[in-house]
Structure 1
Amino acid sequence: MSVNIKNNEVGVFALGGLNEVGKNMYGVQFQDEIIIMDSGVMFPEDELLGIDYVIPDYQYLLQNRNKIKAVIISHGHEDHIGGIPFLLREINVPIYAGKLASALIRNKLQERGLLRDAEIHEIDEDSVIRFRKTSVSFYLTTHSIPEAYGIVVKTPPGNIVFTGDYKFDFTPVGKPADLHKMARIGEEGVLLLLGDSTNAEVPTFTNSEKIVGISIRNIIQKEEGRVIFATFASNVSRLQQVVMTAYETGRKIVVFGRSMESSIKTARELGYVDDKGEDIFIESRDINKYPANKILILCTGSQGEPMAALSRIANGTHRQISLQPNDTVIFSSSPIPGNTMSVNRVINQLSEQGAKVIHGKVNNIHTSGHGGQQEQLLMHRLMKPKYFMPVHGEYRMLKIQSELAQMTGIPKDNCFIMSNGDVLALTADSARIAGRFPAQDVYVDGNGIGDIGSIVLKDRKALSEEGLIIVSATIDFAAKQLISGPDIMSRGFIYMRESADLINDIQNKARSIINRGLNESGPNVSERSVRDLLLSQLEPAIYQKTQRNPMIMPILLDINKGVRPHQTKQNEGK
């Protein structure tokens, strides 16, 4: 299906962020100008074996690269800036972001050798970016990171407003949201509102960050041993709360985890983490110079990531920190969907070693940066949009947000629940679906981008669940004679030393199949015909004996030609 945006229409679309939580990337297109809002990543679910990140498909942008004027960043979280290095490899487009987000982006680009050619402009809530036909302005919101902005794209048909991530926190850490400016934007007129739907299932207001700060202080000041505090490295507001608690309770802070160290360094340089000039932070080598009740360890690993600092502390593999009997570990986060088992595993490991573990299920030590239903209703009342498009959420969240919008008086026909790649075309008085473009997930595996498809993932899944059997044999195809083998090797299927009888049975069956293939194929006998017969008959024979379907990889050596590569049964002919 193609895209057909008329000359008098503004097109709005998502490359990521719809029917999912993550890889936020939205676009506004008027004639020959495209404004991109955010460029995020999504972290893989468990079934995406070996995948590091999921990013949007940039093909539509590549096809329209000459129209792209800028990438505008709402704030500095990974699901909004993590895709920028991958995007800039394809299109060198100007980036506009707040001071903190700009610093975080520069760090990312520096690590990947992309900073020199990048064009990054710092903005604030009063900035206005003007292009020939469109312009972009901002308003300040409250989130779990400073400088979280809503974005207003002014186009001839009307204003397109993207809320970014927000909540209405009336006692925030840092500057309060600009409610007056939001109301003014609503009075000026909003053609379309793109609203954050992450907490659409939460019926109430989200707790203030100040409440979390009070809980953290109450817990830490009672503990007599070391405190190990794990949270998201990007939750700068939470980091400031921890630093203030350390200052008030007389503790020194030791930071572990590369991303945490980077975040703390950047936030301190910009003044968002302030130690009151008391030199609270100390080097890890100095940790034993202070009594246990004067130490606070700030680290990554609140999501149970295997290589994060907290996981290595829990399993005893951290080179600098070992658990002590009176240690208290605080998880100041909620598990991201798919991470619950990993988090529980780390909690169990910590508890088994005698640590006291405190997490959000039993204490007010975490709050979301996203508003609940009451805050979403307030946003609708302030903005009063003519049309509404819920974003940043799975389908059920988008649907609830759409229903909330209707409760505030927006007609049902003016609410559009869309998918990534759908294009909504609007004039001042109309809205329609104007087609769609491909917007499938792109997988990042190490340095490989987009070269891992469903077939490879299917093979990885099969290998992880059933294992692999390699059948190797040397054959004289001209003489139709098995010279040696077949030899059997198992990887992840059975332990060969303890399964000699089964290996012998498989070996005998494979030998019988190969000989049959050589003798019954007539003059057309070939490596392929023997291989096909081996795959089709050996698999059911193995399943009958084991009730398992390992991947089978035949390696047949023709003494007249040498080794020929063969595909496995699972990816044959793909």
Structure 2
Amino acid sequence: MTENKLKIIPLGGLGEFGMNCLAIRWQDDIIVIDAGLMFPESELLGVDIVVPDITYLVENRQCVRGIILTHGHEDHIGGLPWILSELNVPVYGTEFTLAYVEGKLEEHKLLDSTELIEIAPKSKFTIGPFTIEPIRVTHSLVDCVALAIETPVGVIVHTGDFKIDLSPPDGKAFDLHTFAEYGKRGVLALLQDSTNVDRPGYTPSEWAVKPRLDEVFSRTKKKLFFSCFSSSIYRIRIALDLAQTHHRKVAVVGRSIVESSEIAQDLGYLDIPPGLMINPGQINDYAPENVLILISGTQGEPMSALSRAAVDNHKHARIVSGDTVVLSSRVIPGNEKSIYRVIDHLCRRDANVIFDDGASGLIHVSGHASQEEQRLLINLLRPKFFIPVHGDYRHLKKHAQVAVETGVIGQAILIEDGDVLEITPKEARKNGKVTAGRVCIDSGSNVDVVEDIVIRDRRHISEDGIVLPIITINKLSGKVESQPEVVTRGFAAVDAGLIENARQIVSKTLEGSSSEEKADYGVIKEKVRVDLKRFIQKNTSRRPLIMPVILEI
């Protein structure tokens, strides 16, 4: 009978990278593992984030018992505010993960109404018919866990994101022993991270970057700018250790990296010696060879600290000839154009730019397991059923093949978002689908769901109209050749002077921008759009679609 089968229902993360969310159901009890988001492709105009469609959870809200988080990356916790606005359920996570979650929920005014329950490795807890043991795993973030879930039909293991690092910088190694114990007792199904299935061999330890970074610190004669993902606490820790060794004071620039490092310091993951840190305003008080600037913006985000510093538009972070900039991160697919644009600007400043170009020595290592680590864990657990998770379909398919090649699993099953996988002690098979997909969110003054991007834009234009600031820029000199024009369609100005004032706002933005910014159309369009949007909203309380147009001569 159906009620005697365990159901595994992925709602996100199987068929794409990001937006990880998976439901496990036994009769009238549902637990949810992770609640992630993904960032939109460039064609999704006006969309800030993309989250999983949780129609299935909303329809069965009386059955949902809680959300369990494996770690604190955005692709695993970023969708929480959206989901919790629809479902008021407890959220379980490790200490560090919940510290990230608290800031996110406070920003969305959901902290007071949400029950946060701290979990820890090796400490079992029970939700309905499920007994869950978090197992310590290593990743590019600290305090990450896999989940061993005892269900009425057997043990399910969900790895979360992982790699097998037996000597991480915080000393909290991957818990191979507990995985082996579960393997001895018997595992019904393994859900394993597929992200790096294309990579043979093993993923290097976090320590592997230290020799090359040590060399960079030794050779750098002027200021050293170091950029990594704000959540890469291990990398920040290594940079701080090297700064102390090489007698450099450290300034932290950029909101996300400031917040992450403060949380890590509060929870004991960063032990910062007295006198090492300085305020960004003190950077010029020290000789260039005695300063390290930790700076956010490693993916070339248009308004990040590094992007602004690259075009000499940051109050404290000034990059000059001879300075060194290290980008200690991978290039996330889709961000190549933004990152190489920033690198171009840095090269124009005559800075020495070091990024993950495959040259000698590592400045970045992945946080995900390569093929041999995936095989090792499969051999330890010896599951009856294997389900690859996290990745595009090609990754899931390749991962299933890798798993079958180990020769220790009974069956590898490929499922995608919305598939219902029914499992008994003897068999696992797909049986039907639930509603699944992507929900586009525009997080302006209110969090608006973008049900269909085309309909949304049509509605937007029909209600508030469209404003086209037209700017003429000389491609060679970067100079603005004539006064900006502001053309409107479907937007009625409140008074005759509004359009003229709007033109002045655009002119002021252009005057306050460097020639490099003007030559970078992506940056200058965003600056004009933001300033004009703020002015129009303040003066009309309306939000027309603003699309800057640059005429190149």
2:131 maps to 135
* Residue in structure 2 matching 1:117, options 113, 120, 126: 113
> How many Å separate the matches in 2 of 1:328 and 1:41?
33
Match of 2:407 in 1: 409
Q: Which amino acid aligns with 2:450?
A: D
Amino acid at match of 2:64: I
| Structure-1 separation of matches of 2:192 and 2:351 | 42
In structure 2, what is the Cα distance between the partners aligned to 1:424 and 1:449?
32
Alignment length (residue pairs):
469
Alignment of 1:152-163 (within 5 A): 152-163=148-159
Aligned to 1:57: 53
Q: 2:438 aligns with which of 437, 441, 454?
A: 441
Provide the residue aligned with 1:453 in structure 2.
452
Q: Would the aligned equivalents of 2:33 and 2:68 in 1 still touch at CA under 8 Å? A: yes
Q: How far did residue 493 of structure 1 move?
A: 12
**Kept after mapping to 1: 8 A contact 2:91/2:116:** yes
Aligned to 1:216: 213
- Give 1:229's match in structure 2, choosing from 226, 248, 271: 226
**1:149-178, Cα deviation, whole Å (9 max, x unpaired):** 011111111111100111112332221111
CA distance in 2, matches of 1:131, 1:301: 40
For residues 490 and 81 of structure 1, do their structure 2 counterparts lie closer, same or farther at Cα, with a shift above 3 Å needed? closer
Matched, 1:302 2:301: no
Which residue of structure 2 lines up, in the alignment, with residue 343 of structure 1? 339
TM-score, normalised by the number of residues in structure 2: 0.81
Aligned residue type for 2:299: Q
Q: Which amino acid aligns with 1:439?
A: A
- Tell me, in whole angstroms, the C-alpha distance in 1 between the residues paired with 2:107 and 2:433: 35
Contact residue 44 and residue 53 of structure 1 kept, 8 A: yes
Partner of residue 497, structure 2: none
CA distance in 1, matches of 2:182, 2:283: 51
In the TM superposition, what is the alpha-carbon distance from 1:203 to its structure 2 partner? 1.0
Question: Matches of residues 50-129 of structure 1 in structure 2 within 5 Å?
Answer: 50-129=46-125
2:157 corresponds to 1:172: no
Matched AA of 2:21: M
Q: Which aligned pairs between 1:265-304 and structure 2 lie closer than 5 A?
A: 265-275=262-272, 277-304=273-300
- RMSD of the TM alignment (CA)? 2.5
3-state SS of 2:421 partner? strand
> CA–CA distance in 2 between the matches of 1:493 and 1:12?
54
CA-CA distance at 1:458 after TM superposition: 7.7
Looking at structure 1, the residues matched to 385 and 128 of structure 2 have their Cα atoms a distance apart, in angstroms, of 25
Q: Out of 248, 251, 259, which is 1:251 matched to?
A: 248
- Partners of 2:447 and 2:99 in 1: CA distance: 26
- The answer as to whether partners of 1:37 and 1:73 remain within 8 angstroms in 2 is yes
Amino acid at match of 2:367: G
Q: 1:393 to 1:490 in 2, by over 3 A?
A: closer
Preserved CA contact (<8 Å) 1:28 1:34: yes
Distance in 1 (alpha carbons) for counterparts of 2:14 and 2:129: 27
How far did 1:202 drift?
Answer: 0.5
User: Which residue identity is paired with 2:262?
Assistant: K
Deviations 1:501-535 (A, max 9, x none): xxxxxxxxxxxxxxxxxxxxxxxxxxxxxxxxxxx
Residue identity matched to 1:417: L
Are 1:24 and 2:23 counterparts?
no
> 2:124, 2:132 within 8 Å by CA — same for their partners in 1?
yes
CA contact (8 A) 2:226 2:325 kept: yes
1:320 Cα offset (Å): 2.2
Q: Residue 204 of structure 2: which of 179, 197, 207 is its match?
A: 207
Which amino acid is the alignment partner of residue 350 of structure 1?
A: L
1:264 aligns with 2:223: no
String of CA shifts for 1:394-439, please: whole Å, max 9, x gaps: 1111111100110112568x21111101110100001111211111
Q: Distance in 2 between matches of 1:132 and 1:171?
A: 36
Verify the 8 A CA contact 1:173 1:209 in the aligned structure 2: yes
Match of 1:193?
Answer: 190
**Runs of 4+ residues over 6 Å off in structure 1:** 457-460, 489-495
1 CA distance for matches of 2:14 and 2:268? 34
Q: d(CA) in 1 for partners of 2:210 and 2:42?
A: 33
Query: Would the alpha carbon gap of residues 417 and 494 (structure 1) be closer, same or farther in structure 2, given more than 3 Å must change?
Result: farther
Alpha-carbon deviation of 1:243?
1.2
Q: Any conservation in 2 of the 1:445–1:452 contact (CA below 8 Å)?
A: no
Partner Cα separation in structure 1 for residue 326 and residue 313 of structure 2: 20
1:214 Cα offset (Å)? 2.2
> 2 CA distance for matches of 1:212 and 1:433?
43
Tell me the amino acid that sits aligned with residue 434 of structure 1: N
**What is the deviation of 1:142?**
1.0
Are the counterparts in 2 of residues 142 and 166 from structure 1 also a CA contact under 8 Å? Answer: yes
Q: Give, in whole Å, the separation in 2 of the partners of 1:406 and 1:71.
A: 31
**CA offsets 1:69-127 (integer angstroms, 9 cap, x no match):** 11111111111111111111111111111110011100111122111111111111022
- Asked if 1:328 is matched to 2:324, the reply is yes
Q: Displacement, 1:278? A: 2.7
Other-structure match for 1:45: 41
Sequence identity (%): 39
Seen in structure 2, the aligned counterparts of structure 1 residues 458 and 403 have a Cα distance that, compared at 3 Å, is: farther
How far apart, in 1, do the equivalents of 2:9 and 2:395 lie? 18
Q: 2:420 aligns with which of 411, 420, 423?
A: 423
1:12 and 2:8 correspond: yes
The CA distance in 1 between the partners of 2:27 and 2:46, in whole Å, is 41
SS in 1 for 2:25: strand
SS at match of 2:293: strand
| Bigger-Rg structure (1/2) | 1
Matched to 1:305, the amino acid is E
> Distance between the aligned counterparts of 1:279 and 1:126, measured in 2?
37
For residue 456 of structure 1, report the CA deviation from its aligned partner. 3.9
